[in-house]
Amino acid sequence: RIEEVEVQGTISGRFKKISIFMNVFNVHVNRAPYDGKIEKIYYHKGKFLSANLDKASAENERNEVMIRTKDGRVIWAVQIAGLIARRIVCWTSEGTDISKGERFGLIRFGSRVEVFLPSDSRIVVNLNAKVRAGQTPLGYLS
């Protein structure tokens, strides 16, 4: 799912949100969408609803990773646990530099990752496309 959203909370502002659902047969390693520095990591306890449901974004256990690019833009990568995936692993920490495509965590089986790009970003991935971690471009910052 690809949508433009206005969000309030830990993540606040106007973004283009790309939701990537991973079923039990997919690779569940999460990679950084852009180069930058891990500025904040927020963990939220929550439910374990099926990760393909819209309400899983707000209600499920999740880990919100804020990346600040070298030019000051903010990107969020959100790890969301699912019905079967009940364990989020995050290998990075606040203050760490990260490179595009670098592994920063994983979610154990049947989960979702959401990438929040600044609203003026150009999305290049197609809706319902199968993406490959570290290989498929999702979008470009303007």
For residue 92, give the nearest of 131, 66, 61, 58 by alpha carbon. Answer: 66
How far, in Å, CA of 92 to CA of 6, rounded?
27
> In the annotation, is 111 catalytic?
yes
Catalytic residue among 12, 111, 119, 121: 111
The answer to whether 90 and 105 have CB atoms below 8 angstroms apart is yes
How far, in Å, CA of 24 to CA of 10, rounded?
29
Torsion of CA 109, 45, 104, 23, to 10 degrees: 20
Q: Which residues are catalytic?
A: 111
